[in-house]
Structure 1
Amino acid sequence: MKSTRNKWIVALCWLTVVFEGFDIVALSASIPQLIDTSYAGITALDATFIATISLVGVGAGAVLIGPISDRFGRRVPLMICVLVFSVFTILFPLMPTIALLATVRMIAGLGMGACMPVAITMMQEAAASNARAHSATITMTGYHVGAVAASLFAILAHADWHLLFYIGGALGLVVLPFMWAKLPETHAVGLKDIGTKAPKSSMATLFTGGLARSTIGLWVAAFMGLLLVYGLNTWLPQLMRGAGYNVADSLVLLLILNVGAIAGLLLGGRIADKRGVKGTTMFWFTSAAVLLALLSIRMESQLLLNGVVLVTGFFVFCAQVLVYGFVGYIYPKHVVGTGMGMVAGVGRLGAIAGPGLTGLLVASGHAYPWGFYLFAGAALLGMLAVAIIPKPAAQKDVDEPVLETQEA
């Protein structure tokens, strides 16, 4: 991506994914304060409901935005979603009742959930035809940057939890004018000088023309991938405590896991584009399964444990994102947005299932080692799901230039 326009796509799409990472951690970091202060009468059960309904909104947003962006272009729908997410994020701390808190979070989730698949799709459309996996993994590094930023702000804000939501929403509003002025359209039907309408796309389109096997494989792989990501990020400290490691070490291991994730995202996409996205994704899921099973064995050496967790993060998080990279190689251009949205939306069900299933193991006293067996099994199922997807046809190494920017 050498042109100035493509640089703006990279920067602005990356930032939209940063917002999601920031928001997820902002809510997680705020929940203890909400419960401790009984804000709006919130209990632990209420907080769980608010967090869950937020993820439901995220999943629904991802599913709904696909056909819309295929039909009307990427640029304007993305800006509308950023606006919705930003406004309702700012409104969240101002809501006086649990019902309103949950409603606002669900609407904010709709906007946020729609942002990520559109951002990844735009990055893939602006990338060279043989760099689509790398474009997806680079975009998703923003999630972890946002998560780290929110963690730091949470430490500084402490009891002033509402500041996290004001900051997160304000960042989106600040970026919006730059999107309006600088973000080009990457999908032909969104350009004013193209008179033809895009062919209709819907979920049914993803099962026609020999795409059914690929669609099912992508959905299952995305589900398993996000089950791993959210399950580990939610429960890894508790699993490690169950294994006999102290609390401080458990929290450090969570940080190490995410450092490994960033490294995996920076390298995994390039390898997938060079060596083949199918084989690379299968190898990543298989490696994740082996390493997760290995973590079920207690390690006395802290250095060895840190190393295993680091490499686990390298493979687990990138395996899930490589599924997104698959989309740009599998689907025809006029249904890429729909395909990406559905993959992201079905994956969000895994994001809900992962913490839920692991939480049941924690509650029953069987979190260690069975939590790691659960994760290893999910990784193996992810690998098998990828195995049923036909290998994408070889693509020429041709840069597809982004068309003219639409000015306001």
Structure 2
Amino acid sequence: MNKRVLPLGWTAVLLDGFDLVVLGTVLPVLLESGQWDITPASASVASTAGLVGMMLGAMAIGTVTDLIGRRKALIASVAGFSVFTLLCAAAPSIEVFGGLRFLAGLGLGGCLPTAIALVDEFAPERRRGRATTLIMTGYHVGAVLTALLGIVVIPSLGWRALFVIGATPALVLVPLMVALLPESGAFRAEGASAGQASVRRVSVGRLSVGRLVGSLFRPGVRRATVAFWVASFMGLLLVYGLNTWLPQIMRAAGYPLGAALGLLLTLNVGAVVGLLVAGAVADRVGVRPATVGWFAASAVFLGLLSVKLPTVGVYAAVFVAGCFVFSAQVLVYAYVGRVYDDGNRATGLGWTAGVGRIGAICGPVLGGALLTAGLAHPWGFYAFGLVAALGAVAVAAVGRGVRAGGGGA
């Protein structure tokens, strides 16, 4: 693998990971302060606006990436979401805040599938599972840093400072990407031989967006495509539902705000550890059984969180749940990267992530509805456990015969 690809892609995903928990970090403060007359319902609308942007960005940019190249798409995504994240710090109302979250979401949605496609194409075949999970550790390192910053920054500087801090690293990262980030082999036209350029024009340049999306439903991958979309829906429902509302659910269970934010931090520390293990397991036993197992374990440990445990026990349970919940979704991405080929891999990843963002929208809505009804604890964890079980069923439905490159039945 090119030594520049992984660190640059990892850092881009780290900034994307900031968005994963920033709302879960600031919402308890906004709700308690009464700023903008915010309610759980209006907070859910703002959260949903950002996730709709991510859904559209993943589908659009993921597909366009197969036409213009991974490098250009990734740089544009990082620059775009950083600008609008910074503007969130100056939002004068919940309506403007939600609109800026939508615009930031367009870039955020395109970042992940593009970065994963780029890293996959530079990684050796036998290590692609580890490459995917390793780059996704950046996502959760970003989430952990954001949770830590929330604990330290919000009491002294306020919630707006968190958005400024989250956006400013792009001032360094974007110029570095422009200078150092290489393009995937399928898109290296400059300096290529005439024959290579011809291959690029035939395999990529003449493909329309419609044909790229249609290629996800050709014989041999049609069932896998639908199964991936369902699994991604379930996986991102869990990721965003828990990261948005876990602090409030724990507060409903009687934990103080500091402990609730600490549990959010613990959840994402568990995610980083789980990713490091999941990639190695997937490369050893196969990505399909690993993904099914990770979703099934998520169901078990989410159900365990419904039980009122002593302090050490609840931290341990949240940590282990984080190990499985987040890496289950990443293993779906790793599986997608092995089924589709170079010509439509980013499209497959983009649409899997995009449809999954519908689940990401439903997660905060589900959590908000349960909180509004006073049922968040313990029924929220039962609901999330059921979602994880359905994710396991969806991955199992891909079938054993589907092989890398789109072959098989």
- TM-score, normalised on structure 2? 0.87
Name the residue aligned to 1:93: 89
- Equivalent residues in 2 for 1:34-73 (5 A)? 41=36, 43-44=38-39, 45-73=41-69
Q: Aligned AA for 1:363?
A: T
Name the residue aligned to 2:145: 149
- What value does the CA root-mean-square deviation take over the aligned residues? 2.5
Aligned CA distance change for structure 1 residues 150 and 241 (closer, same or farther; 3 Å): closer
1:357 Cα offset (Å)? 1.3
- Equivalent residues in 2 for 1:243-392 (5 A)? 243=253, 248-299=258-309, 301-391=310-400
Matched, 1:15 2:11: yes
Aligned CA distance change for structure 1 residues 382 and 214 (closer, same or farther; 3 Å): same
- 8 A contact 2:24–2:246 mirrored in 1: no
- 8 A contact 2:299–2:389 mirrored in 1: yes
- 8 A contact 2:47–2:364 mirrored in 1: no
Q: Aligned AA for 1:317?
A: F
Aligned CA distance change for structure 1 residues 73 and 98 (closer, same or farther; 3 Å): same
Q: Aligned AA for 1:270?
A: A
Name the residue aligned to 1:171: 169
Aligned CA distance change for structure 1 residues 102 and 394 (closer, same or farther; 3 Å): closer
Q: Aligned AA for 1:168?
A: G
- 8 A contact 1:230–1:351 mirrored in 2: yes
CA distance in 2, matches of 1:315, 1:36: 31
CA distance in 1, matches of 2:350, 2:253: 38
Name stretches of at least 5 consecutive residues in structure 1 with no aligned partner. 397-408
- 8 A contact 2:274–2:323 mirrored in 1: yes
Aligned CA distance change for structure 1 residues 91 and 303 (closer, same or farther; 3 Å): closer
CA distance in 2, matches of 1:127, 1:167: 32
CA distance in 2, matches of 1:322, 1:249: 30
Name the residue aligned to 1:227: 237
Aligned CA distance change for structure 1 residues 145 and 334 (closer, same or farther; 3 Å): same
Moved more, 364-373 or 249-258: 249-258
1:150 Cα offset (Å)? 2.3
- Equivalent residues in 2 for 1:59-138 (5 A)? 59-96=55-92, 99-138=95-134
Aligned CA distance change for structure 1 residues 348 and 187 (closer, same or farther; 3 Å): farther
- 8 A contact 1:225–1:379 mirrored in 2: yes
1:204 Cα offset (Å)? 2.0
1:354 Cα offset (Å)? 1.4
Identity %: 45
CA distance in 2, matches of 1:43, 1:245: 22
- 8 A contact 2:28–2:248 mirrored in 1: no
Aligned CA distance change for structure 1 residues 93 and 143 (closer, same or farther; 3 Å): same
Q: Aligned AA for 2:355?
A: V
- 8 A contact 1:22–1:168 mirrored in 2: yes
After superposition, give the CA deviation of every residue in 1:214-269 in whole Å (9 maximum; x if it has no partner).
01111111111111122222333444455555655444333322222111001101
- TM-score, normalised on structure 1? 0.87
CA distance in 2, matches of 1:252, 1:34: 18
Name the residue aligned to 2:178: 180
